[in-house]
Amino acid sequence: MNAGTQSRPVRAAVDGLLLLNKPAGLTSNQALQKVKRLLNAKKAGHTGSLDPAATGMLPLCFGEATKVCAYLLEADKTYRVTGRLGEATDTGDADGEVIDTADIPALDRDDWDRVLQSFVGNIEQVPPMYSALKKDGKRLYELARKGQVVEREARPVRINWIELIELSGKRLVFRVSCSKGTYVRTLVEDVAKAAGTIAHTANLHRETVGNFRAEDMLDLPGAEQVAAGGAEALRARLLPADSALSDWPSARVGQADAERFSGGQRIGPGAIPQGLTGYVRVYDEADRFVGIGELAEDGRLAPRRIFR
């Protein structure tokens, strides 16, 4: 080693999920890198990015658990949203500059609730200019920062339910469950438009992703406090990879079939219980999670992701 140089820390093969309660002011990747260092982990990824100003559940995946990231992107999400009525910003949230103001109609709580409920179901949204979507190879937010506005096609999303929490002056607070791809900033703007005014998202907190529970989140100071006892202490708080797929059907197979599956071969059809369709979690006789399989029409199970 040359004088003055330092050896890099040896990273460990860490497997599992950590549900971070992301603080405001950090990008999703910055939050990931902080926790990755605390765990001294080799491989890491996150799923379902949050804007820097947003807070809440950010599933961080380490090692083998990075293989479930793509499936978590498909999960429904729940948010607690605070909208500021009567003011629009160029970004749709509190980080932007106010570009317009408007009167707020004299609607009572029941009126606002009716407006909110009109958005439940399958709707279409026009993505905001301040988003990571690409147009001709450029991120929309890059164009927006240059003052450019380009045409965006409306995209289908699904609002499962909306619950009005608070209505006070310019403050509108609600909780919403929605499908992947939903832009809450756009939802706030569209709700305000339907009520006859304008608005922006003043605060956004993601409470759940898929079947993960809010009470299982760990905030960054909490993670740092646990890791003060050593990386192993924080690793003990990780969730297994298959916890991300807890709402999927599962199948347990014999050892020989488990070995064939882990070797990339199809198994079945006799090995798989009847009545299962689509993607399934696959376990061996010792109840070890060995991977994600997809059932074909002939009843055979094809490996899609293998977990070591």
Domain ranges in the chain? 16-74+212-241, 77-209, 248-306
Residues whose CB falls within 8 Å of the CB of residue 99, separated by 6 or more in sequence, listed in order = 88, 89, 90
Give me the pLDDT at residue 305, please. 94
How many angstroms separate the Cα of 145 from the Cα of each of 89, 97, 138, 141, 224? 13, 12, 12, 6, 35
Please report where in the chains the tokens 């929309």 appear, as a residue.
140
The yes-or-no verdict on residue 34 having pLDDT over 70 is yes
Give me the pLDDT at residue 1, please. 46
Q: Which range, of 53-67, 194-208, 289-303, averages the lowest pLDDT?
A: 289-303
**Of residues 182, 181, 304, 183, the one with CA closest to residue 248:** 304
Element (H, E) at 69: helix 69-72
Please report where in the chains the tokens 């369709």 appear, as a residue.
277
100 catalytic per annotation: no
Give me the pLDDT at residue 271, please. 66
Q: CATH class for domain 16-74+212-241?
A: alpha beta
Q: Chain-centre distance of CA 47, in angstroms?
A: 5
The yes-or-no verdict on residue 142 having pLDDT over 80 is no
Could you tell me the pTM of the whole model?
Answer: 0.88
Q: How confident is the model at residue 135 (pLDDT cuts 50, 70, 90)?
A: low
User: What interhelical angle do 184-195 and 109-117 show, nearest 10?
Assistant: 130
Please report where in the chains the tokens 């603080």 appear, as a residue.
23
As a whole number of angstroms, the distance between CA 138 and CA 5 comes to 39
- Topology (CATH level 3) of domain 77-209: Pseudouridine synthase (3.30.2350)
What CATH code is assigned to 248-306? 2.30.130.10
As a whole number of angstroms, the distance between CA 177 and CA 232 comes to 35
Average pLDDT for the chain = 89
Q: Strands 55-62 and 199-209: what pairing?
A: parallel
Please answer whether residues 280 and 295 qualify as being in contact, where contact means their C-beta atoms are separated by less than 8 angstroms. Answer: yes
pLDDT in tens, 244-289: 999 898 888 899 999 999 999 998 776 676 777 789 999 999 999 9
As a whole number of angstroms, the distance between CA 262 and CA 271 comes to 14
pLDDT in tens, 158-186: 999 999 999 999 999 999 999 998 999 99
As a whole number of angstroms, the distance between CA 167 and CA 14 comes to 45
On the question of a common fold for 16-74+212-241 and 77-209, the answer reads yes
Please answer whether residues 182 and 125 qualify as being in contact, where contact means their C-beta atoms are separated by less than 8 angstroms. Answer: yes
Structure token pair of residue 275: 């009545």
Q: Report phi then psi at 129, rounded to 5.
A: -65, -35
**Mean pLDDT, residues 283-306:** 90
Give me the pLDDT at residue 136, please. 66
Say which of 51, 93, 257, 284 is annotated catalytic. 51
Element (H, E) at 58: strand 55-62
